[in-house]
Amino acid sequence: MAEKVRQQIMDAEGLNRTIARLAHEIVERNRGTENLAILGIRTRGVSIAERIISKIHAIENTRLPLGILDVTMYRDDVFKKIQQPLVQTTEIDFDIDDKVVILVDDVLFTGRTIRAALDAIIDFGRPTKIELAVLIDRGHRELPIHADYVGEHVATSLQDDIEVRLKQVDGMDGVFLVKSLKVN
Amino acid sequence: MDFKRKHLLELKGSTREEISLILDTAESFKEVLTRPIPKVPTLRGKTVVNLFFESSTRTRISFELAEKRLSADSVNFTASGSSLSKGETLRDTARNIEAMKIDMVVIRHCAAGAPHFLTQCVEASIINAGDGQHEHPTQGLLDLMTLRDKFKTLEGLNVAIIGDIAHSRVARSNIYGLQAMGAKVALCGPPTLIPLEAQDWGTEIFLKLDEALEWANVLNVLRLQLERQQRGLFPSIREYHRLYGITRQRLEQCKKEVTILHPGPINRGVEIESELADSEYSLILNQVTNGVAVRMAVLYLLSGGKGSEELEAE
């Protein structure tokens, strides 16, 4: 039997500060906002991307273009899951050629979603550079992928779950670590 | 919701949820078709055989494109130039093809029920691309998608299917699909081309075209299937055109906005005036575009779809 313990690792304010820091880092490292474009991975990556864009707007007074990426069609485990994932639309209505694309997702885990996202982006054009921003890096990579901007590193075991809750999607802000404890 | 079917044989008995899932999935795939590189790796490694025992342009090309856009490997089979002309049975053809390890079969056949029969002799998923006068489910789905794109919902829409109902598999798939989605359906055509079973379909039946035009928001104009008409079910093509042909003059008489669909191929000047087929009323080319997207959605959902019994066993 496994018992689950849910523990909050980030509250609404903490989340807000972390996203603000990510926005600052993105602008700092790219020396401004020129040529930048943000791509959020469905579903929660999009909400985080929207918030990064409004933070950058507050700092630099420019609004970066937002694209929405659905990577279901590019996944390598589409047919391995019992429930088949719903395919949703990708919406990128700007040219990504010669742009610096900041890819945004909520949790970085095995790296397979990011691998799928990279394939998807390449089908839309040839950015000069792709950088990755994630709210939580929980380790356990199965591919040689790393994030350029990380909100927080969280040590997890493979059985744990990270739950990111965002106002736009879930009605509240917060990040939770759900630990599976073995009970004998 | 999860798609539980292994085969797509007919729209009869489909639920609103199933059809909505297919149409929603198709909308996502439609976006792929507009990309600079209109191809995704979703079905990489899957093999699809297109078995066409009857001639087809649109449907075959549409399926082939859908397979290629999804990176599946596809093999084509047409009746002429195959062992069929040497007398091989459908069962043997299918079992032999299956022995070459395939995942899906798209079949068009002149005999109603041929796709159902295949499900009993092979393990692969079967997609019906038109069987005799029974059904043509992907055509039905693309018609639903085209109408949903334009009207946002199918609920309460009045759709008149006009022409050769008796010989039309498109009509049957449309009736079942439209009714499942909450649209109202009417049939209109010469009495000799409306089958007896139509009274069990719960549709309106109009024998006069003007009455149907009065009632409908949408006309789905069927092709007069001249190749299936050896028995003289109406006096002449000219008379058919005069009584049931859709013309601009007629539409303007009934002073109503209508939308026209046609499954193709069109007999211009028979069931529909040539100019009208290319007019602002017509969504015929939207149907063709949506056809690829709908078939991509069906291929995707079926290739992951497990039979409901298998699911329970897991």
Amino acid at B114: A
Instruction: Please give the average per-residue pLDDT across B188-216, as a whole number.
Output: 93
Task: Please indicate if any CB of chain B lies within 8 Å of the CB of A123.
Answer: yes
Contact across the interface for B28 and A83, Cβ inside 8 Å:
no
Find chain B residues with C-beta within 8 A of A93's C-beta.
none
How far apart CA B89 and CA B105 sit, in angstroms, is 16
CATH code for the domain defined by B16-136+290-307:
3.40.50.1370
Q: Is-contact B111 B131, C-beta < 8 A?
A: yes
Beta carbons of B31 and A91 less than 8 Å apart: yes
Q: Which of B18, B23, B42 is the mutation pick for testing A, counting most A CBs within 10 A?
A: B42
Model ipTM value: 0.79
A87:B39 CB<8 A: no
For the domain made up of B137-287, give the CATH fold: Rossmann fold (3.40.50)
Where are the domain boundaries for CATH 3.40.50.1370 in chain B?
16-136+290-307, 137-287
CB contact under 8 A, A74 and B28: no
The closest of B226, B233, B217 to B271, measured between CA atoms, is B226
pTM over 0.95: no
Judged by CB atoms closer than 8 Å, whether chains meet at A78 and B28 is answered as no
Mutate which: A42, A43, A70, A73, vs B, most B CBs within 10 A: A73
Closest residue to A79, CB basis, from B29, B304, B311: B304
**Fold assignment, A12-77+86-160:** Rossmann fold (3.40.50)
pLDDT tens digits, one per residue of A26-73 = 999 999 999 999 999 999 999 999 999 999 999 999 999 999 999 999
Separation of alpha carbons B67 and B74, rounded Å = 7
Measure CB to CB from residue B29 to each of A79, A87, A119 and give the nearest one.
Answer: A87
Q: What are phi and psi of A28, to 5 degrees?
A: -65, -50
Q: CA dihedral defined by A54, A57, A62, A64, rounded to 10 degrees?
A: -30
Question: How confident is residue B313, by pLDDT bands cut at 50, 70 and 90?
Answer: very low
Distance CA B61, CA B250 (A): 34
Model confidence pLDDT, tens digit, residues B244-270? 999 999 998 877 789 999 998 999 999
**Candidates B41, B300, B314; nearest CB to A87:** B300
Tell me the chain A residues in contact with residue B41 when contact means C-beta distances shorter than 8 Å: 73-74, 119
Are A155 and A172 within 8 A, CB to CB?
Answer: no
| pLDDT greater at residue B309 or residue B245 | B245
Query: Residue A158: which residues within 8 A CB-CB, separation 6 or more?
Result: A140
Q: B305 and A84 in contact by Cβ < 8 A?
A: yes
Q: Would you kindly state where each structural domain of chain A is located, as residue ranges?
A: 12-77+86-160
- Identify the residue whose tokens are 């575009």: B289
